[in-house]
Structure 1
Amino acid sequence: MLIVAMMGMMLGLACVLALASPWPWLAPMVIGALAVVAFLYRRPGWGLLGLVVLVPLEGLFKELAFSPAKFLGASLIGILLMQLLLRQLPEGRARSNLWPLLLLFLLWVGLSFLFSSNHPASLGNLRELLIGMTLFGIVLLVGRDVPLLPLCRLLVISVAATCLIALFSARHQVQGRAVGLLQDANYFALLITVAMPLAVLLAMRARHWLTRLLWLGLGVVLLAGMTRTDSRSGLVVLLLALLVGLWHHRARLARIRPRHLGFIMLGAALLVPLGLMSVPDDYVERIKSLSILRSGVNAHQDASLGRRASYLLVGGEMIREDPVFGGGPGTFALRYATTGYAKAFSDSSDSLDIYRRAHNTYLEIFAEMGIPAGLLFLALLLMGWRNFERARRAWLDRGERELADLVVHLGLAFFSMTLFLLFLSVPNHKLLWLLLGLSWVLRQQAESGGPAEVRSA
């Protein structure tokens, strides 16, 4: 009753403030927002599903000071903190074998902030990192209540929808490269590489041929979106994830009989030429440009590869200058702007174009936060990989092949994310911390036998 009374008082106060503000039309929305909060209090797992759906759609709300994702995240954090204080969550939910490494990493990041060469820039970078990390805590607390197949479906549908938008709308392309609802083609390619293993899983798990055709069609849409991003790194990561997935399913490949080979060859004869014809010529040329790496990077032949080489040089200088604490969180772009590389590789006359991040999460952490922080971050990701592997092994030992496949494909999404960190600076990416938290949740469920929610998923 006390909570109901407090929520009623908050509702009345919020409505009065909205009516007295220059935006009185917000008053009815307060009631809707409170209804959402009340629903999330009873079903916080739905809030996590909503955050997953909104990750590819964040560009729709970039002009809003308080976007739906921020409202949903803030509400969910407040609700979970209240439930923890009232002891309404089962005991042990927040435990994880990842906490020691994560706390040590945060401790070193804090020390790097104290010794930073630019505290305002470091403070903004640290704030973004902590916002991304909140997904880790949320997953630990409510991840066991979230059905995993619906989570996969929502993420695939959300990313595929942005692919369709980018394919048919020139507004969502930058210099001919599809960016979806984001601002960078490589960030968009990252989402596609994470969603692709999940689309393959859904196609394999489909019980009806129409449903399987739907997921296969969405997989084709994801591939089409990848070709329009012109992302070479995205293609490399996608192929590596495909090879790992084929290795996991090698036992199923052994079931192929000679009578099936004719159908396989017919499908390949139809699909391979069609796929090659649908790939843009610019993308083919960008892929061919990777061949120059055998003879070293030549900035005159490929400015993009030359720019990435310059990031390595600048990052190496920062590591040598302060290998313990680095230059401070968020200072790589400031350091790069002072070098001659910034103007030499600038794509436009905009002065902000010289402030470039390292486009390599690992390099950026080593350079900005020091070698100890970089090693702790690597250990954190390796522990996440180990959690997925232990969960897979536990389900296979119990004969739960479908659950093992689910763990493997979520692990492949995490594998794709960690590989893509070599080509992007996204230590705060929500999906990274969501999948890292899921690695422990899945391992704990597998080693304990798994609750009914996982089995029904």
Structure 2
Amino acid sequence: MIIPLSVISLLGLVCLILLASPWPFLAPGAVLGLVGLAVLYRRPAWGLLGIAALVPLEGLFKDSMLTGSKLLGAALALILTLQLALQQLPPDRLRSNLWRFLTGFMVLYFLSMLLTEDLGMSLGHLRELSVGLVLFVITLLIGRELNLMMFCRLVTLSVTLTCILAMFSTKFQDQGRASGLLEDPNGFAMLIAFAFPLALLLALKSPNLMYRLFWIGCSVMLLGGMTKTQSRSGLVVLFLSLIIGLYHYRAHLPRIRPRHLGFAMLGGAILIPLAIYLMPPGYVARIQSLSVLSAGASGHTDESLGRRASYIVVGSQMIRENPLLGSGPGTFPLHYATTGYAKAFSANRKIGDLYRRAHNTYLEIFSEIGIPAGLLFVGLLGMGLLNMHRARSAWLKRHEWEQADLITHLGMGMLSLTLFLMFLSAPNQKYVWIMLAMTSVLRLKAEESPVMEAKA
């Protein structure tokens, strides 16, 4: 693809204007911007890889209005719009079986906004959600060119780097719990749970021993980071992902020989004591506290579980009051702040402690936008998981084992994100929307692959 001469002329004019302005030092930046746009125009998938790699590092720029992710996202949006207008991208790239769910959800979303109890909060929620929607469209357009193994490498390395920072520096911890570059340890645990299946794939598919040891080391760091988050939900999600992975590779079990069991026992003898030594003392107590969930919002001493139970109580009441269109996007904190739970679970009575989100994306959507919109959102994610299952089945029928393994590990990551939405208010989480679009792209690629190309 060739960049239109008009675009080059325009940027050249910008450089000349900057040279003649009081800020000539900005002219080299315009030249670098031109080079970056040229590269993105030729390889837009590289921009998406850059966004994926920067997600765990966004906390470095939380006080900045202009970040690398925003620049890449805006540049990609402009470039892909131009390529669509010039018919350099086929419009059928936007074809997806997810649109029927997403379109219905957005219609109900805007209807709920018309009746919202607080327009300012709803507009803020829409601004956050629009980031995910833009990434969804971008991924649909260029997902076919995305190097998935490079995607796995970049995500794994980026999350592993934040794990190393969080494990060995208190600066990246929140009251003793690792939060990486994020403000929420559970949000950090979500990134780890997504990256861990990708790290396992890289370890299994490495071409030589050195690479395999490197990715195994990254996997160990991810596990260490998970324990430092002290996230109970992260532990559950990680365990489910491992069970799915073992089920996928069950055909390899007959290859296990007695000598392999000896090495496994040796590894267990080393890793289990090490894990016990590294596990924070409070983590075991947090896991044991799950046994008192049946006591309700005020029947136990675990403050975290008490808050989560109170979110369910408040959210249920909101659903009963406005079952069809909810109270408006982003208005859950407004309702929660007026309850006694807000004061009871507020450490210092600050505004941020009183106005709390639901810490459950599904509960938040059902209570703020209504039951029909909530069902469509659940259907959207469910269809995404079904797409991964169908893509895997299609590759297995063609005996494309490598592709099937790749889909399995990406599906494990997608499932981790879907489950984690029960413990976080993150409808705009970038990986969720990137992976949603990728499920559609991967299914179409698998089903369009001719059966005659199946390997014997």
**TM bracket, shorter-chain basis:** over 0.9
* Counterpart-to-counterpart distance in 2, 1:351 and 1:120: 16
Match of 1:327, SS? Answer: coil
Q: CA deviation at 1:28?
A: 2.1
Report if aligned partners of 2:3, 2:41 keep a CA contact under 8 Å in 1.
Answer: no
* Counterpart-to-counterpart distance in 1, 2:237 and 2:421: 10
Task: Specify the alignment match of 2:373 in structure 1.
Answer: 373
Task: Specify the alignment match of 1:259 in structure 2.
Answer: 259
* Counterpart-to-counterpart distance in 2, 1:200 and 1:98: 29
Q: CA deviation at 1:251?
A: 1.3
Task: Specify the alignment match of 1:273 in structure 2.
Answer: 273
Task: Specify the alignment match of 2:17 in structure 1.
Answer: 16
* Counterpart-to-counterpart distance in 2, 1:450 and 1:65: 47
* Counterpart-to-counterpart distance in 2, 1:183 and 1:225: 15
Change (3 A) 1:450 1:47: farther
User: What are the within-5 Å matches in structure 2 for residues 32-181 of structure 1?
Assistant: 32-181=32-181
Q: CA deviation at 1:172?
A: 1.1
* Counterpart-to-counterpart distance in 2, 1:225 and 1:298: 31
User: What are the within-5 Å matches in structure 2 for residues 373-452 of structure 1?
Assistant: 373-449=373-449
Query: Structure 1 stretches (4+) deviating beyond 6 angstroms?
Result: none
Task: Specify the alignment match of 1:228 in structure 2.
Answer: 228
**Identical residues among aligned pairs (%):** 55
Report if aligned partners of 1:237, 1:419 keep a CA contact under 8 Å in 2.
Answer: yes
Q: CA deviation at 1:188?
A: 0.5
Report if aligned partners of 1:289, 1:302 keep a CA contact under 8 Å in 2.
Answer: yes
Deviations 1:346-404 (A, max 9, x none): 12342221111000000000000000000000111111011000000000001111110
Report if aligned partners of 1:299, 1:307 keep a CA contact under 8 Å in 2.
Answer: no
Match of 2:92, SS? Answer: coil
Report if aligned partners of 2:203, 2:211 keep a CA contact under 8 Å in 1.
Answer: yes
Q: CA deviation at 1:16?
A: 2.6
Partner letter of residue 271 of structure 1? L
Q: CA deviation at 1:271?
A: 1.5
Task: Specify the alignment match of 1:308 in structure 2.
Answer: 308
Partner letter of residue 259 of structure 2? R
Of 425-434 and 168-177, more deviation after overlay is shown by 168-177
Task: Specify the alignment match of 2:245 in structure 1.
Answer: 245
Task: Specify the alignment match of 2:5 in structure 1.
Answer: 4
Report if aligned partners of 2:190, 2:417 keep a CA contact under 8 Å in 1.
Answer: yes
Partner letter of residue 219 of structure 1? S
Of 412-421 and 264-273, more deviation after overlay is shown by 264-273
Report if aligned partners of 1:53, 1:154 keep a CA contact under 8 Å in 2.
Answer: yes
* Counterpart-to-counterpart distance in 2, 1:394 and 1:418: 23
Q: CA deviation at 1:182?
A: 1.0
Q: CA deviation at 1:267?
A: 1.8
Change (3 A) 1:52 1:16: same
Partner letter of residue 177 of structure 2? R
Q: CA deviation at 1:19?
A: 6.4
Report if aligned partners of 1:347, 1:353 keep a CA contact under 8 Å in 2.
Answer: yes
Q: Give 5+ residue unaligned stretches, structure 2.
A: none
* Counterpart-to-counterpart distance in 2, 1:277 and 1:159: 23
Q: CA deviation at 1:124?
A: 0.9
TM-score by length of 1: 0.95
Report if aligned partners of 1:326, 1:370 keep a CA contact under 8 Å in 2.
Answer: yes
Q: CA deviation at 1:185?
A: 0.7
Change (3 A) 1:255 1:332: same
* Counterpart-to-counterpart distance in 1, 2:58 and 2:16: 27
* Counterpart-to-counterpart distance in 2, 1:65 and 1:295: 45
Match of 1:92, SS? Answer: helix
1:323 aligns with 2:323: yes
Report if aligned partners of 1:364, 1:425 keep a CA contact under 8 Å in 2.
Answer: yes
CA RMSD between the two structures: 1.8
Report if aligned partners of 1:15, 1:30 keep a CA contact under 8 Å in 2.
Answer: no
Deviations 1:294-335 (A, max 9, x none): 555545510110000110011011111110000000000111
Partner letter of residue 42 of structure 2? R
* Counterpart-to-counterpart distance in 2, 1:262 and 1:413: 30
Report if aligned partners of 1:199, 1:218 keep a CA contact under 8 Å in 2.
Answer: yes
Change (3 A) 1:343 1:98: same
Change (3 A) 1:13 1:262: closer
Number of residue pairs the alignment of both structures matches:
451
Match of 1:93, SS? Answer: helix
Partner letter of residue 43 of structure 1? R
TM-score by length of 2: 0.95
Deviations 1:213-238 (A, max 9, x none): 00000000101111111111111111
Q: Give 5+ residue unaligned stretches, structure 1.
A: none
* Counterpart-to-counterpart distance in 1, 2:6 and 2:291: 68
Change (3 A) 1:57 1:254: same
Partner letter of residue 202 of structure 1? L
Change (3 A) 1:180 1:11: farther
Q: CA deviation at 1:405?
A: 0.6
1:343 aligns with 2:323: no
Deviations 1:5-64 (A, max 9, x none): 34322342366358646x654332122122111110111010010010111111111122
Match of 2:4, SS? Answer: helix
Match of 1:424, SS? Answer: coil
Partner letter of residue 151 of structure 2? L
Report if aligned partners of 1:19, 1:26 keep a CA contact under 8 Å in 2.
Answer: no
Partner letter of residue 428 of structure 1? N
* Counterpart-to-counterpart distance in 2, 1:75 and 1:412: 30
* Counterpart-to-counterpart distance in 2, 1:322 and 1:157: 44
Deviations 1:92-150 (A, max 9, x none): 21111111111111111011111101111101101111111111111111011111101
